[in-house]
């Protein structure tokens, strides 16, 4: 049975939630305070870059299942039986999650509510937030407002696929009526349900991202060790990943994780732990390893090119991962300023991402412009285009010693070397042994 749903926030999570629920047949209104965004979406244009989203946007609007609104007409009118909160929780300067947008929305909904509804929290909020919001706002409302913690596990670039083919749906609620409504909402998705209390659901979200981050920092430590001892991280990852208890995913070594989720969520979890009097030692190391890992290309380029101020360096990739234009917490944001500060002329090429991380570095529209005369090229993002490069032509374009630092271990090392380029990577076997501590 179609349900009436309101999704507050048309950022990444909100928009994907809205279009996917509309595709499942629900009657969805997506709300955002940003009128320009709402106008753009209402005209059928997506405000985010995500494969498949434009199609779901058009089909949702054509079927009448999907509409957009600003809160101008009053929250009371906008509240549905299921009202999903999907606004941003960016990182505050102290590392905590900034909940100000969540509080504004929840208090507005609670104040305006004149009939019962279920509030579904999809924003990533720290453990204890659900209890605090209920106590402060929802319990004060004149009608019953149920609360469900329903975290998302969507990857950028694969969000639509992840929505419909999720490994699990987590429903944290204290009352059966709210859970029953949520089961109805997700009736067409074939995935196991994890039904639990609110605090446990909130913890599942942070623990999932922290565990995946831990896998990445772990394999990066092993890769650095491989560099020190001359072992090969590709073989090691394959060899350990075949053990089903370990699993193959998230064992790709490189210059570490970025994006809007892992860096923010690991730091927020560390903050929550500290606030609760617990020192989460392992998590602190995961964060430290990641902060250090992204400096690897700078360390090695500086070591190989002491006269950096006379050199040009090409940065290949700005986005935190391929198939997105998102540069948030991309390693490029640390690498580029450091190289520029050393006096290097830095030229950046990315097929999609356009945000410039630093003044003084130039973004070029053509990869060959970036490579021309460069003494080193750092692969920050594993775009397919970089894997398919004509390495002979790269060698001719670059200046000596023509270093290719493969920060994502994504290139064919033999092909790069065969063209006469100097290949460096993270823990891949070769003539270069550059353990970070060496
Ligand atoms: C991540 C999670 O994968 C989603 O499940 C979660 O819902 C989302 O955060 C979120 O909390 O909203 P996302 O940030 O889109 O999704 O990116 P991932 O594909 O997970 O990659 C994160 C970073 O880890 C990227 O910088 C990627 O390059 C890096 N990574 C990933 C590695 O360095 N090695 C790997 O083996 C895998």
DSSP per-residue codes, 392-434: HHHHHHSPTT-EEEETTS-S-HHHHHHTT-EEE-SS--SS---
Taking only the tens place, the pLDDT of each residue in 329-381 is 999 999 999 999 999 999 999 999 887 767 778 999 999 999 999 999 999 99
How many C-beta atoms surround the C-beta of residue 276 within 10 A? Answer: 10
Q: 277: buried, middle or exposed (CB in 10 Å: 19+, 13-18, 0-12)?
A: exposed
The confidence score (pLDDT) of residue 361 equals 87
- Cα–ligand 1 centroid distance for 438 (angstroms): 29
- DSSP symbol at 20: H
- Cα–ligand 1 centroid distance for 263 (angstroms): 10
- Cα–ligand 1 centroid distance for 259 (angstroms): 7
- For residues 425 and 438, what is the distance between their CA atoms, to the nearest angstrom? 15
**Could you tell me if 173 and 212 lie in one domain?**
no
Looking from the CA of residue 208, the nearest atom of ligand 1 is 5
Lowest mean pLDDT across 173-182, 197-206, 259-268, 347-356: 347-356
Residue 438 reports pLDDT greater than 50: no
Which of 139, 163, 196 lies at the terminal end of a domain, its last residue?
A: 196
- Cα–ligand 1 centroid distance for 81 (angstroms): 32
**Could you tell me if 124 and 237 lie in one domain?**
no
Looking from the CA of residue 255, the nearest atom of ligand 1 is 33
Ligand 1 lined by 250 (C-beta under 6 Å):
yes
**Residue range 190-196: mean pLDDT, rounded:** 97
pLDDT band at 298 (very low <50, low <70, confident <90, very high): very high
SS3 388: coil
- For residues 95 and 415, what is the distance between their CA atoms, to the nearest angstrom? 43
Cis bond before residue 401 (omega within 30° of 0): yes
Taking only the tens place, the pLDDT of each residue in 18-42 is 999 999 999 999 999 999 999 999 9
Q: Which secondary structure element, helix H or strand E, spans residue 219, and what is its range?
A: helix 198-229
**Could you tell me if 221 and 265 lie in one domain?**
yes
**Could you tell me if 275 and 157 lie in one domain?**
no
**Could you tell me if 187 and 227 lie in one domain?**
no
The confidence score (pLDDT) of residue 437 equals 44
> Atom 36 in ligand 1: which residue has the minimum CA distance?
250
The confidence score (pLDDT) of residue 95 equals 86
**Could you tell me if 192 and 234 lie in one domain?**
no
Q: 421: buried, middle or exposed (CB in 10 Å: 19+, 13-18, 0-12)?
A: buried
Looking from the CA of residue 265, the nearest atom of ligand 1 is 11
Ligand 1 binding pocket mutation candidate from 216, 267, 327, 350 (most atoms within 8 A of CB):
216
Which of 196, 213, 238 lies at the terminal end of a domain, its last residue?
A: 196
pLDDT band at 325 (very low <50, low <70, confident <90, very high): confident
Ligand 1 lined by 262 (C-beta under 6 Å):
yes
Count how many domains the chain has.
Answer: 2
Ligand 1 lined by 259 (C-beta under 6 Å):
yes
Ligand 1 lined by 251 (C-beta under 6 Å):
yes
Q: 279: buried, middle or exposed (CB in 10 Å: 19+, 13-18, 0-12)?
A: exposed
The confidence score (pLDDT) of residue 357 equals 67
pLDDT band at 431 (very low <50, low <70, confident <90, very high): low
Which residues face 117 on adjacent strands?
145
**Could you tell me if 331 and 259 lie in one domain?**
yes
**Residue range 273-293: mean pLDDT, rounded:** 97
Q: 93: buried, middle or exposed (CB in 10 Å: 19+, 13-18, 0-12)?
A: exposed
Which of 196, 224, 249 lies at the terminal end of a domain, its last residue?
A: 196
**Residue range 300-315: mean pLDDT, rounded:** 95
The confidence score (pLDDT) of residue 44 equals 94
Percent of the chain with pLDDT over 90: 91
Its domain, for residue 185, covers 4-196
> Atom 3 in ligand 1: which residue has the minimum CA distance?
155
Residue 434 reports pLDDT greater than 70: no
Average of per-residue pLDDT values in the chain? 95
Contact 38, 61 (CB under 8 A): no
**Could you tell me if 121 and 170 lie in one domain?**
yes
The confidence score (pLDDT) of residue 430 equals 72
Residue 255 reports pLDDT greater than 70: yes
Ligand 1 lined by 145 (C-beta under 6 Å):
no
**Could you tell me if 218 and 349 lie in one domain?**
yes
**Could you tell me if 182 and 231 lie in one domain?**
no
- Cα–ligand 1 centroid distance for 71 (angstroms): 32
CATH number reported for the structural domain that contains residue 328 in this entry: 3.40.50.720
- Cα–ligand 1 centroid distance for 320 (angstroms): 9
The confidence score (pLDDT) of residue 433 equals 52
How many C-beta atoms surround the C-beta of residue 343 within 10 A? Answer: 12
Taking only the tens place, the pLDDT of each residue in 107-148 is 999 999 999 999 999 999 999 999 999 999 999 899 999 999
State pTM to two decimals: 0.94
Opening angle at CA 420, ends 415 and 423, nearest 5: 65
- In the residue annotation, 226 being an active-site residue is answered as no
> Atom 30 in ligand 1: which residue has the minimum CA distance?
257
**Could you tell me if 84 and 230 lie in one domain?**
no
Pick the catalytic residue: 30, 226, 261, 410?
A: 261
pLDDT band at 172 (very low <50, low <70, confident <90, very high): very high
Helices (H), 10-94: 12-23, 35-42, 53-63, 75-78
Ligand 1 lined by 209 (C-beta under 6 Å):
yes
Taking only the tens place, the pLDDT of each residue in 203-224 is 999 999 999 999 999 999 999 9
C-alpha distances (whole Å) from 293 to each of 140, 219, 236, 263, 396 are 48, 11, 18, 13, 30
- For residues 7 and 36, what is the distance between their CA atoms, to the nearest angstrom? 17
Looking from the CA of residue 329, the nearest atom of ligand 1 is 26
Q: Between 198-229 and 262-275, two packed helices, what is the crossing angle to 10 degrees?
A: 120
Ligand 1 lined by 11 (C-beta under 6 Å):
no
How many C-beta atoms surround the C-beta of residue 238 within 10 A? Answer: 12
**Could you tell me if 164 and 216 lie in one domain?**
no
The confidence score (pLDDT) of residue 73 equals 80
The confidence score (pLDDT) of residue 195 equals 97
- Cα–ligand 1 centroid distance for 183 (angstroms): 27
The confidence score (pLDDT) of residue 235 equals 97
């Amino acid at each position: 049975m179609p349900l009436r749903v309101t999704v507050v926030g048309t950022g990444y999570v909100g928009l994907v939630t809205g279009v996917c629920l509309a595709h499942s047949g629900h009657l969805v209104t997506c709300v955002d305070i940003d009128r320009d965004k709402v106008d753009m979406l209402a005209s059928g244009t997506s405000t985010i870059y995500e494969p498949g989203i434009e199609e779901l946007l058009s089909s949702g609007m054509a079927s009448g299942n999907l509409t957009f609104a600003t809160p101008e007409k009053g929250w009371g009118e906008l509240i549905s039986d299921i009202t999903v909160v999907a606004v941003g929780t960016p990182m505050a300067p102290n590392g905590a999650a900034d909940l100000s947008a969540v509080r504004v929305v929840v208090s507005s909904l609670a104040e305006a509510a004149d009939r019962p509804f279920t509030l579904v929290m999809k924003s990533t909020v720290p453990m204890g937030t659900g209890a605090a919001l209920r106590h402060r706002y929802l319990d004060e409302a004149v009608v019953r407002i149920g609360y469900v913690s329903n975290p998302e596990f969507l990857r950028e670039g694969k969000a639509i696929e992840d929505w419909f083919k999720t490994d699990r749906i987590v429903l944290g609620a204290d009352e059966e009526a709210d859970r029953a409504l949520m089961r109805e909402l997700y009736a067409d998705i074939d995935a196991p349900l994890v039904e639990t209390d609110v605090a446990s659901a909130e913890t599942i979200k942070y623990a999932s991202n922290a565990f995946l981050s831990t896998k990445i920092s772990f394999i990066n430590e092993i890769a650095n060790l491989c560099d020190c001892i001359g072992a090969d991280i590709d073989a090691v990852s394959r060899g350990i990943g075949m053990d089903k208890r370990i699993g193959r995913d998230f064992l790709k070594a490189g210059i570490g994780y970025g994006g809007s989720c892992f860096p923010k969520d690991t730091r927020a979890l560390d903050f929550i732990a500290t606030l609760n009097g617990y020192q989460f030692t392992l998590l602190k190391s995961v964060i430290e390893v990641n902060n250090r890992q992204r400096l690897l290309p700078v360390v090695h380029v500086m070591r190989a090119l002491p006269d950096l101020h006379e050199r040009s360096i090409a940065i290949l990739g700005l986005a935190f991962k391929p198939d997105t234009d998102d540069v948030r917490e991309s390693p490029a944001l640390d690498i580029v300023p450091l190289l520029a500060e050393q006096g290097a002329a830095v030229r950046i090429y990315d097929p999609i991402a356009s945000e410039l991380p630093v003044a003084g570095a130039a973004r070029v529209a053509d990869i060959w412009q970036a490579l021309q005369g460069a003494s080193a090229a750092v692969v920050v993002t594993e775009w397919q285009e970089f894997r398919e490069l004509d390495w002979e032509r790269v060698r001719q374009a670059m200046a000596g010693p023509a270093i290719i630092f493969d920060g994502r271990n994504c290139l064919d090392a033999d092909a790069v070397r065969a063209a006469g380029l100097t290949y460096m990577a993270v823990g891949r076997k070769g003539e270069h042994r550059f353990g970070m501590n060496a």
